[in-house]
Amino acid sequence: MSGTTMLAYHRFGGSTTVSVDLPVRQIAEQLDTLGEIARVVSIDVAVEELLPGAGSGRKPDRHRRPETPTVVLTADDGTSDWVELLLPLLVARNLPMTWYVATAFVDEQRDFPHGGRPITWSALRDAASTGLITVASHTHSHAVMSKLDARTAATELDRSIDRIETEIGQPCRHFAYPKALSASIEAEREVRRRFRSAALAGNRVNIPGRTDPARLGRTPIKRSDSAHRFASKVRGGGRAEGWLREHYDRFRYHDDGT
């Protein structure tokens, strides 16, 4: 399907039993696969291309096959393995990526679940200085926004924006919902006021002119994904998995605030 696939990662190194903690060899092989079968772009480029009429007047890329998928790489939360293990792989391949950071964990150097050590602001600045990393918001405290009122949502968002822009020195224009759960009507309104894009999940391909940039679909990548399964997800496969996850997570985090 023609459009942009956003791949969602979390942890790297494979040192835990968490399903989204990928061994270094696996992520390296996936990045090499993307170099062969996909066109990897930054989140800013992707959002621009998704807008209605974005392709009009643009010269076609004669070197790009029509069936080549467009991919945006993303990672959620903010663990130290991003810069220790992932960043060298991205730099070696010149691949852009968006890092959605829960800023309270960085401020307080508070561990994520399953022993995830938080990244530091200095490491994030070093990563951003490569020109490949876009540092974006994942709220301040990793708050699930499905039940937040407008005031609480605004506090979460403004705090995360302020910390990122102060520490990184770049505008914070993009956002991903924690747990990939959509917000209350009031909270979503606050998200739309602040960000150029906001990402959910659903394993949906984002189609130019038909995708709301404030409700981007993303496809989570798991350790259990074989090379064939990964290539399928890059091309838009896994819709059933995405549907099941959305409904399961909506039930699982129904009463959860973080």
What total number of domains does the chain contain?
1
How many Å apart are CA 214 and CA 176, to the nearest integer?
Answer: 9
pLDDT digits (tens, 9 = 90+) for 194-208: 999 999 999 999 999
Answer whether residue 257 is part of any domain: no
Q: Which strand (E) or helix (H) includes residue 100?
A: strand 97-101
Answer whether residue 258 is part of any domain: no
Answer whether residue 241 is part of any domain: yes
How many Å apart are CA 32 and CA 89, to the nearest integer?
Answer: 10
70-77 and 4-9 strand pairing: parallel
CA angle 84, 87, 89 (to 5 degrees): 110
How many Å apart are CA 77 and CA 20, to the nearest integer?
Answer: 12
Answer whether residue 170 is part of any domain: yes
User: Which pLDDT value is given to residue 239?
Assistant: 59
Q: Which residue type does 227 have?
A: A
Question: What letter would DSSP give residue 21?
Answer: E
Answer whether residue 192 is part of any domain: yes
How many Å apart are CA 50 and CA 12, to the nearest integer?
Answer: 29
The range of the structural domain enclosing residue 188 comes to: 4-54+63-252
User: What residues contact residue 69 under an 8 Å CB cut-off, 6+ apart?
Assistant: 3, 4, 5, 37, 38, 39, 234, 235, 236
Answer whether residue 13 is part of any domain: yes
pLDDT digits (tens, 9 = 90+) for 79-102: 999 999 999 999 999 999 999 999
CATH number at residue 49: 3.20.20.370
pLDDT digits (tens, 9 = 90+) for 131-183: 999 999 999 999 999 989 999 999 999 999 999 999 999 999 999 999 999 89
pLDDT digits (tens, 9 = 90+) for 199-245: 999 999 999 999 999 999 999 999 999 999 999 999 998 655 544 55
pLDDT at 256 over 70: no
Answer whether residue 237 is part of any domain: yes
User: Which pLDDT value is given to residue 19?
Assistant: 96
Answer whether residue 240 is part of any domain: yes
